Structure 1
Amino acid sequence: MTRDTAARPQGVADIAEAEAFLAAHPEIGAFDLVLIDINGIARGKIIRRHELLPIFRSGRHLPGSILGLDVCGEDVEETGLVWSDGDADRRAWPVSDSLVPLPWTDPPRGEVRLALYELDGTPMAADPRHALARRDAMLKAEGFHPVLAYELEFYLLDRERDAAGNFQPLRLPLTGERPEGIQVYGVSELDRLEPFIDAVYSAAEAQGLPVETMISEYAQGQFELTLHHGKALRAADDLVMLKRLLRAIAVRHGMLACFMAKPFAGRAGSGMHVHASLTDEAGENLFADRGGELSPLLTQAVAGLLETMEESMLVFAPHLNSWRRFSAQSYAPTTPTWGTNNRSVAVRIPAGSGAGRHLEQRAAGIDANPYLVGATVLAAMQRGIAAKVDPGPQTTAYAEGRDDQLQPDWRSAIQTAAASAFLKEALGERMHFVLLALKRAEYRRFATEITALERAIYGEVV
């Protein structure tokens, strides 16, 4: 039996952080405890102010089954984290530098993110944050320091559905009108969204989130926000915080922030593009151009991503809806291709200065878990570099009709992931097992549902 020693894991937040925060924010009377599960969903509880310091001193018990919940929040026994485990507690500890105010709440609340550990202080292997931390440490041991940045595409929708129950684009706050046409990069659409955008930037500043450019994207009500690059774990933390922020601000402005990969048929899907590079210990970019040419280290990393992409698609497209995003002549890749300054490929080398060179992985949807995406991307890069693989020729136009198309659907992705030795090593054996158990359970849920479309087409015909 594992003994509950309340061992303090290495790297968790120090109590001085909580003491300083409480002194600086006497107005805050409650805190959200937030643990991010395998589906990227925030789970936890709200505590009172006097409960915060004890959590920083000795952690807080949470059931391990919280990481065995499907996307609907229901237990999946096949994960091994529910009744076969006795629904046993683990210990949650606060993540360093994650204690922030929630400036949109009244009365004021704060937030602290958690990571889950076994009772003896070892990382709980089904916590997705630990999967990224593990890969980050492995690369650093080889002299590579990962730098990541995530782009976040999302829809702002009206909270009221249409008569058929479908989503509707938002009404722009300053005019009350719905956007018409695509108007990608439209400045007027952003101007008419001013109260919401101001609230987002103000809240991000209060939380120390490095939010940068906002763009009107390729559909009515679709937008993109970028985050400044940073260390691997912090970059993923920033993305999950930004999604929570956007949801909360949208609700308070009468909108719905939607992070489905494809909320509308016939309109653009929403991606989570991951920008990645490696530096040395001094911070020098190891992907910087060499003699006016792409660095061999960069092209080897690209090759690793291409070689493992088919095996990794369940991480990048984890839900049934994820697969509706991939189609020809779209900005979602359908083949494992790469190229410079080409947005149709799966791995893009953006234009820009050679000194700041990096790669952009474009397969992941915004509905994916950024910790698992980051861990998988870094593991693939590490594999390509270790094997010194060549990525082959660049793609200069849209790659259509190739023989190496990615999987056609969710079920195929689950089967491929189950057989993948790479993905098991990239995520860790326990995480790989739990991910598959959850996705198989979710697939069964959808496979047994009779849809309205089926009833309309087949009901009185066959």
Structure 2
Amino acid sequence: MDLEELDVAVDNGSIDTVLLALTDMQGRLQGKRLHGRYFMNEVVDGGSEGCNYLLAVDVDMNTVDGYEMSSWSSGYGDFVMKPDFRTLRRVPWQPATAMVLADLETTDGEPVPASPRQILQRQLARLAEHGLTAYAGTELEFVLYRDSYEEAFDKGYRDLIPANQYNVDYSLLGTARVEPLLRRIRNDMYGAGLLPESAKGECNFGQHEIAFRYADALTSADQHVIYKNGAKEIAAQEGMALTFMAKPNAREGNSCHIHFSLRNADDRSAMLGDGPGHLSVTGQRAVAGLLATMREFSLLFAPNINSYKRYQPGSFAPTALRWGVDNRTCALRMAGHGQGMRVENRVPGGDVNPYLAIAALVAGAVHGIEQQLDLEPEVTGNAYDDATAGRVPSTLREAHDLWAASAVAEQAFGAGVVAHYANMAAVELAAFDAAVTDWELRRGFERM
């Protein structure tokens, strides 16, 4: 939609509510529901204020220490949510509702550097200095349950009933069992301006993936968070629950493979060429940069304790920091042909914040281009067996330490952003270290 269409819709009553949304550190939509006429009269020009603790809380919305931008000592002030009207759209799964995403400013009109959307925008601006534009597509997997979210909560998330009771990877019979929900999600997302391509079953019981058309990097990240939030809302309306967490059980985890490519000013591929893997010099340097920064940027690809449970040998979740042409054992898989050629980063899980993950890809590519890095030989066999390969960090603690000490991260993102997201990981680690888990109780309650 554009503003004129929204104004007409508010006047005729077909839209009465506008969601003004920001994306928080955890990749969730937060914000306000505004009356349509109030939005048109007051918010269009001036934005709307919200507490700056929205970028300084944990996943349970607890206020925590360690953030420079927001704290008890600074009084937990406001920032301003400024609508980006390029993102304005209808929300078909909610009655008479539209949505617009926001960028953040301080009350003095300064940008908020730790805002995930603005972190990505900053990296895209760096890339543009090289005459390049980034395109991306995210492939989110989820596990669907017959239980509602409330029932799952009351059951302590145990003994849930998966929507499928066996592996339905590519099965048309298996996916037909939940096609009413999958179809509604696809069609409602289309109504919101996204371009769904397909839905398919995956390996875990009740696991599915809905794929969408790629777009420029910022648009792709915007659509990712809208889809993720909307899919949960639609599932809840249907009395079901779905989860994007990276490893919801001992079977296959939820991945979020990110397809990434670069284009020149003429809108042609900057990665296609005559080198290894049909890569240009720019493409080779970009992929080399992705490999060189992968460990230090892992916090942006795998931001939670649970993220690292997904990395298991032979599980299609990569552990070896290698690249290969159509090789799913590598962290970076070259996919597609001709102008459609791109690199697929197989490291992120379904819990990823897309703005941060794509920003890490852009920053890695810029690093490789600026440092003119040479690309190592491709892997043609099983990269899991490569004893010389660098590895994805095995824990959030290791990823935190790599990120916090990274000179490349500080140069690319700034010391303030590095400190902000290092603190996010430190908060999660402290909470987990203090928790008594079911695993400990089962092993120790009687037998120790």
- Structure 1 length-normalised TM: 0.90
Offset from partner CA, 1:146-177 (integer Å, 9 cap, x none): 11111111111222449784153444xxxxxx
Q: Is 1:368 aligned to residue 352 of structure 2?
A: yes
Letter in 1 for 2:86: D
Q: What does residue 20 of structure 2 align with?
A: 33
Partners of 1:218 and 1:426 in 2: CA distance: 37
Q: Is 1:76 aligned to residue 64 of structure 2?
A: yes
Offset from partner CA, 1:412-456 (integer Å, 9 cap, x none): 111111111222333333222111112111111111111122122
Letter in 1 for 2:269: N
Q: What does residue 175 of structure 1 align with?
A: none
Q: What does residue 166 of structure 2 align with?
A: 181
Offset from partner CA, 1:277-312 (integer Å, 9 cap, x none): 111122111112338933222221111111111111
Which blocks of at least 5 consecutive residues in structure 1 are unaligned? Answer: 1-15, 172-178
Partners of 1:198 and 1:399 in 2: CA distance: 37
Q: Residue 331 of structure 1: CA displacement?
A: 1.0
Q: What does residue 125 of structure 2 align with?
A: 137
Equivalent residues of 1:376, 1:426 under 8 A apart: no
Equivalent residues of 1:339, 1:349 under 8 A apart: yes
Equivalent residues of 2:322, 2:383 under 8 A apart: yes
Q: How does 1:42-57 map to 2 (within 5 A)?
A: 42-53=29-40, 54-57=42-45
Q: What does residue 3 of structure 1 align with?
A: none
Equivalent residues of 1:131, 1:428 under 8 A apart: no
Equivalent residues of 1:170, 1:255 under 8 A apart: no
Partners of 2:384 and 2:268 in 1: CA distance: 37
Q: Residue 212 of structure 1: CA displacement?
A: 1.2
Q: What does residue 83 of structure 2 align with?
A: 94
Letter in 2 for 1:269: G
Offset from partner CA, 1:234-282 (integer Å, 9 cap, x none): 11001001101211111111211211001011x1111111111111122
Q: 1:85 aligns with which of 61, 74, 96?
A: 74
Q: 1:426 aligns with which of 382, 404, 412?
A: 412
Q: Is 1:390 aligned to residue 374 of structure 2?
A: yes
Q: What does residue 410 of structure 1 align with?
A: 396
Partners of 2:394 and 2:256 in 1: CA distance: 20
Q: 1:149 aligns with which of 137, 140, 154?
A: 137
Q: What does residue 338 of structure 2 align with?
A: 354
Q: What does residue 440 of structure 2 align with?
A: 454
Secondary structure of 1:83's counterpart equals coil
Q: What does residue 263 of structure 2 align with?
A: 279
Which blocks of at least 5 consecutive residues in structure 2 are unaligned? Answer: none
Q: Residue 390 of structure 1: CA displacement?
A: 2.0
Letter in 2 for 1:155: V
Report the more deviating stretch, 59-68 or 401-410.
401-410
Q: 1:157 to 1:425 in 2, by over 3 A?
A: farther
Q: Is 1:261 aligned to residue 246 of structure 2?
A: yes
Equivalent residues of 1:155, 1:221 under 8 A apart: yes
Aligned length: 437
Letter in 2 for 1:418: A
Letter in 2 for 1:378: V
Letter in 1 for 2:189: A
Partners of 1:73 and 1:281 in 2: CA distance: 43
Q: Is 1:249 aligned to residue 241 of structure 2?
A: no
Offset from partner CA, 1:55-112 (integer Å, 9 cap, x none): 1111111222211111111112311212232212121100222222221224x22222
Q: 1:377 aligns with which of 331, 339, 361?
A: 361
Q: Is 1:441 aligned to residue 427 of structure 2?
A: yes
Q: What does residue 158 of structure 2 align with?
A: 166
Q: 1:372 to 1:163 in 2, by over 3 A?
A: closer
Letter in 1 for 2:165: E
Letter in 2 for 1:39: Q
Q: What does residue 119 of structure 1 align with?
A: 107
Secondary structure of 1:277's counterpart equals strand
Report the more deviating stretch, 48-57 or 229-238.
48-57
Equivalent residues of 2:6, 2:15 under 8 A apart: no
Secondary structure of 1:400's counterpart equals helix
Letter in 1 for 2:76: D
Equivalent residues of 1:329, 1:398 under 8 A apart: no
Q: Residue 32 of structure 1: CA displacement?
A: 2.0
Secondary structure of 1:348's counterpart equals strand
Q: What does residue 9 of structure 1 align with?
A: none
Letter in 2 for 1:286: A
Partners of 1:165 and 1:374 in 2: CA distance: 31
Q: What does residue 11 of structure 1 align with?
A: none
Secondary structure of 1:247's counterpart equals helix
Q: What does residue 270 of structure 1 align with?
A: 254
Equivalent residues of 1:338, 1:346 under 8 A apart: yes
Secondary structure of 1:70's counterpart equals coil
- Structure 2 length-normalised TM: 0.93
Q: What does residue 8 of structure 2 align with?
A: 23
Q: How does 1:56-75 map to 2 (within 5 A)?
A: 56-75=44-63
Report the more deviating stretch, 321-330 or 247-256.
247-256
